[in-house]
């Protein structure tokens, strides 16, 4: 699984957090909607995105790698966590 931090993926993350998730959460908050579960739902969705695939071209190794990414993403509790997780996952070696 390629975990390289390239400019395209970094730009996509920045665009989605800056222009989609952050404004949406701000709007919902301004409308009086509780945000207590929003980040947990985003984290759960990221977990599902990481593991919900029917064909694993890389076999069991790809399955467990994606599951590990999903588990790490499931720990996100705010936008800053999302960016920290992204940077951590893009390191050549995870310690």
Q: Tell me, what's the pLDDT at 92?
A: 42
> Could you read off the pLDDT of 23-36 as tens digits, one per residue?
988 898 899 988 77
Asked whether residue 2 is assigned to any structural domain, the reply reads no
Q: Tell me, what's the pLDDT at 31?
A: 92
Place of tokens 């919900």: 52
Position with higher pLDDT, 89 vs 71: 71
Q: Find the radius of gyration of the CA atoms of the chain.
A: 15
Other residues' Cβ atoms within 10 Å of the Cβ of residue 86: 18
- Residue 51 reports pLDDT greater than 50: yes
- Give me 87's structure tokens: 């940077």
Asked whether residue 77 is assigned to any structural domain, the reply reads yes
Q: Using CB atoms within 10 Å of the CB of residue 30, give its burial: 0 to 12 exposed, 13 to 18 middle, 19+ buried.
A: exposed
**Structural domain for 41, as ranges:** 7-89
Alpha carbons within 13 A on the beta-carbon side of 94: 13
Q: How many domains does the chain have?
A: 1
Asked whether residue 74 is assigned to any structural domain, the reply reads yes
Q: How confident is the model at residue 94 (pLDDT cuts 50, 70, 90)?
A: very low
């Amino acid at each position: 699984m390629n975990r390289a931090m390239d400019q395209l993926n970094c730009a996509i993350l920045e665009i989605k957090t800056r222009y989609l998730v952050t404004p949406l959460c701000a709007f919902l908050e301004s409308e009086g909607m509780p945000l207590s579960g929003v980040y947990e739902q985003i984290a759960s969705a990221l977990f599902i995105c990481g593991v919900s695939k029917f064909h694993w071209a890389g076999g069991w190794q790809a399955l467990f790698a994606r599951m590990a990414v999903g588990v790490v993403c499931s720990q996100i509790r705010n936008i800053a966590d999302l960016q920290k997780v992204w940077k951590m996952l893009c390191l050549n070696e995870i310690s």
